[in-house]
Amino acid sequence: MRTKVAIGLLAAAAVAYLLSAQTLAPKPPVAPPAIDLSAAFSGADAASDAASLAAMTDATADIIEWDGKQAEPLLKTGKSLDELRTRTRQFMCGGISLGDKHPRVRELVGAYLHTQLGDDGGEITPEQRAAWVSAYREIARSARHAIGR
């Protein structure tokens, strides 16, 4: 009986140690977003609009990524990927343009996408598709960062 109690106490001490080591261990620093949207949203709707942008760009990245895994992708050109972005905004925001409400967001996102993806509307490679997914995920991360999420 004493052995079982001792083993139980030892196990509890080990679990407590491991849990404290995990909570005390410093987390590696998270790199700031590649695009800084923190001051680009303003007004009463700033937080909800940033959350909308994060949701839209995450959804766009998900669709592009999923489509690329299909035997015959539907989105094959830079033009079709950009049109997807426009249609996603129209569907998710009821036609309201966050860029019209927040011109600085439009400017920063446009410049970021141009830098990351260029403006070639032609056929895309798997590497280019991955770049589109990565760019949209980074915009989403920045929009969440802008509202502290």
CA torsion sign for 148, 137, 38, 42 is negative
In this predicted structure, what is the pLDDT of residue 91? Answer: 86
Q: Are the C-beta atoms of 74 and 80 separated by less than 8 Å? A: yes
Max Cα-Cα span within the chain: 75
* Among 49, 63, 34, residue whose Cα is nearest residue 141: 34
| pLDDT recorded at residue 71 | 95
Q: What is the pLDDT along the chain (149 residues), one digit of tens a residue?
A: 666 544 554 555 455 555 555 555 566 777 778 898 988 999 999 999 999 999 999 999 999 999 999 999 999 999 999 899 888 888 888 888 888 999 999 999 999 999 999 888 899 999 999 999 999 999 999 999 988 75
Q: Comparing C-alpha atoms, which of 132, 32, 22, 37 is closest to residue 77? A: 132
Between the alpha carbon of residue 69 and those of residues 62, 74, 79, 80, 88, the distances in Å are 11, 10, 19, 16, 20
How many CB atoms are located within 10 Å of the residue 66 CB? 12
Tokens of 92: 């998710």
> Cβ atoms within 10 A of the Cβ of 48, count?
11
pLDDT recorded at residue 6: 47
